[in-house]
Amino acid sequence: MDVDLSGKTALVTGCSRGIGLAIATGLARAGARVAVNGRTGDSVAAALAHICAQVPDASLVAAPADVASEDGAAALVRELPDVDILVNSLGIFGARPPMEITDAEWREYFEVNVLAAVRLTRAYLPGMTGRGWGRVQFIASDSAIAIPAEMIHYGMSKTALLAVSRGFAKTAAGTGVTVNAVIAGPTHTPGVEDFVRELVDPELPWDQAQREFMRVHRPQSLLQRLIEPEEIAHMAVYLSSPYASATTGAAVRVDGGYVDSIVP
């Protein structure tokens, strides 16, 4: 499928590494002008270099900002007042015994994983609907549906994203703008590598370690391996394209069959 996003501007939040970086690279490869967001100038510069190495003719914009804060999000919107494609991929995660999760941690996960996406959607959606075309995506997780016992605060935040996505899709009804959530399954990112090492024998070679992690901690996966970030990015690029014009208000699964359900 030849996806052509020439003439479109995309903002991918939290895309200095992992899934976000893969999505930004995929959108650039499809011809979009991509605003690359991270918290620091150094992290954004590294991401820009990575994308340029993969896509030499990429059209990129450096967009450093802490979008998890009101001031950071407002500053970014001032610098980049209009986008055609918004991919809310910023997120934090980590294992924590449920009874030890503090009020501050609950607030942090909601602030970073949910409210940051809400703020930017609120800022950019009116412009999209006014122009009659746009794409908004929320990168959710299998943890939204199959809440992991070791990080229920993370699962809560991803469940909230499914509700937020469906609600904003209703707000954009009939405007030519689509709003969707992507349910990403267990994915091979630097953060997940660290997480896997916390839960299985750190002396195991990586291939064995990830398979042991999947066998013990994610046994319901039908893929039986971690998903590569590029596999998530393929779905995000498709949802950003004209080919996905009739897909809105959906929770689209790229979870390797992790969620034991025919529908989300």
Is 154 in the active site? yes
Which of 109, 124, 154, 258 does the annotation list as catalytic? 154
How many CA within 13 A on the CB side of residue 14?
19
Structural domain boundaries in the chain? 9-187+227-254
Q: What is the pTM of this model?
A: 0.94
Strands (E), the chain: 9-12, 33-38, 59-64, 85-88, 134-141, 177-184, 251-254
Encode pLDDT of 60-106 as tens digits: 999 999 999 999 999 999 999 999 999 999 999 988 999 999 999 99
Beginning with the edge strand found earlier in the chain, give each strand of the sheet holding 251-254 in spatial order.
Answer: 59-64, 33-38, 9-12, 85-88, 134-141, 177-184, 251-254
**Alpha carbon separation from 245 to 70, 181, 186 (Å, rounded):** 31, 14, 27
Give the pLDDT confidence score for residue 90 in this predicted structure. Answer: 98
**Alpha carbon separation from 88 to 57, 181, 244 (Å, rounded):** 24, 9, 18
Give the pLDDT confidence score for residue 184 in this predicted structure. Answer: 97
Encode pLDDT of 28-37 as tens digits: 999 999 999 9
- The secondary structure of residue 228, as a DSSP letter, is P
Encode pLDDT of 213-237 as tens digits: 999 988 999 998 999 999 999 999 9
Helix, strand or coil, per DSSP, at residue 101: coil
Residue with the larger pLDDT of the pair 192 and 159? 159
CATH 3.40.50.11290 given to domain 9-187+227-254: no
| Residue 141, beta-bridge partner list | 184
Q: Which residue has the tokens 């943890």?
A: 143
Give the pLDDT confidence score for residue 54 in this predicted structure. Answer: 97
